[in-house]
Amino acid sequence: MKNAQKTLFTTAFIYLVIGMLSGVFYREVTKFKEFPVDNATQLSTLHTHLLVLGFIVPLVVLALDKLYTLAGSKQFTWFFYLYNIGLVITLVMMTVRGWLQVLAGSPLEETPELSKGMDAGISGMAGIGHILLAVSLVLLMVRLGARINTVQAQAKQVNA
């Protein structure tokens, strides 16, 4: 991946903007639908997920890349793309389920009246998103572990 730090920064910035907009969207749509403020939905947690997983995680990875030169490997490239694909799938499914909860006027603990197939489809797609996120994070940790070992070995050679 060319210019990984710029790519990570841009990715974080995009998720920041979307995260802020999702908070405004949630506030306005629930106000319009007269949805009870104390009823949490998947839509109410979307803002936080976008900011933490979409904004903060890429910034942390950017800092780790600066320290350990993570980019420039297939593992890192696979991490980046799988992470973002998994995150987008997860966030879209959160949005769909949250939107349906708001439309139905049901809180997080209750599932709106969906067909079993639709409910299973939303859960299944969200599960695929989570699996991709998990695989990508394992790839990141493998790459980070390898780079830490390399940096420590190089430091020992210099000090020897």
More confident: 42 or 138: 138
In this structure, are residues 36 and 112 in contact, taking their beta carbons and an 8 Å threshold? no
User: pLDDT at position 1, please?
Assistant: 80
User: pLDDT at position 71, please?
Assistant: 97
3-state SS assignment for residue 151: helix
Our measurement of the distance from residue 11's CA atom to the centroid of its chain's CA atoms, rounded to an integer in Å, reads 11
The predicted-structure confidence for 108-138, as pLDDT tens digits, reads as follows 666 667 788 988 999 999 999 999 999 999 9
User: pLDDT at position 131, please?
Assistant: 99
Alpha carbon distance 45, 94 (integer Å): 8
CA atoms within 13 A on the CB side of 108: 12
Backbone angles phi, psi at 132, to 5 degrees: -60, -40
- The structure's pTM equals 0.91
User: pLDDT at position 30, please?
Assistant: 87
The predicted-structure confidence for 135-148, as pLDDT tens digits, reads as follows 999 999 999 999 99
Question: Residues with Cβ < 8 Å from 30, sequence gap 6 or more?
Answer: 37, 43, 44, 102
Alpha carbon distance 45, 64 (integer Å): 27
Alpha carbon distance 107, 91 (integer Å): 18
